[in-house]
């Protein structure tokens, strides 16, 4: 039996797993799973495990060093439509309440002048 030819892409050893020392600031790190790469015609594909399944039809893919980042494309709604309003309300609900103190925007301004409407009528 002859040895299997090397794949045309780097091995897992070329892309070691994430370590505790990796700078992951700003990244939400959850479960880690191995996945299989395969060819789909001229394209390389990855089998995404069920627990990482994305809801939607489109993704954006970008490369950050040795990482491949896949992000779900949020659906575009018609401006002013009920679906757009519901999506906006869902985004706002995720933000939660704002506990910041709002500044007094009138600080340093001269007082408002009282307008005497009786002089204008005369």
pLDDT tens across 38-59, in order? 999 999 999 988 888 888 889 9
CA distance 59 to 55: 10
Greatest Cα pair distance, the chain, in angstroms, is 110
pLDDT tens across 66-76, in order? 888 899 888 88
Q: Which domains does the chain possess?
A: 27-95 (2.10.260)
6, 48, 10, 15: which is closest to 31 by C-alpha?
A: 48
Look up residue 96 and give its two tokens: 């939660």
> Cα-flanking dihedrals φ and ψ of residue 36, to 5°?
-90, 140
């Amino acid at each position: 039996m002859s040895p299997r030819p090397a794949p045309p892409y780097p091995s897992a050893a070329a892309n070691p797993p994430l370590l505790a020392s990796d700078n992951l600031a700003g990244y939400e790190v959850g479960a880690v799973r191995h996945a299989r790469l395969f060819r789909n015609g001229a394209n390389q594909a990855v089998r995404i495990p069920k627990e990482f399944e994305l809801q939607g039809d489109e993704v954006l893919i970008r490369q950050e060093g040795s990482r491949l980042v896949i992000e779900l494309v949020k659906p575009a709604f018609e401006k002013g439509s009920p679906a757009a309003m519901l999506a906006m309300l869902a985004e706002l609900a995720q933000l939660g309440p704002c506990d910041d103190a709002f500044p007094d925007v009138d600080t340093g301004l001269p007082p408002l002048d009282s307008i005497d409407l009786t002089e204008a009528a005369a």
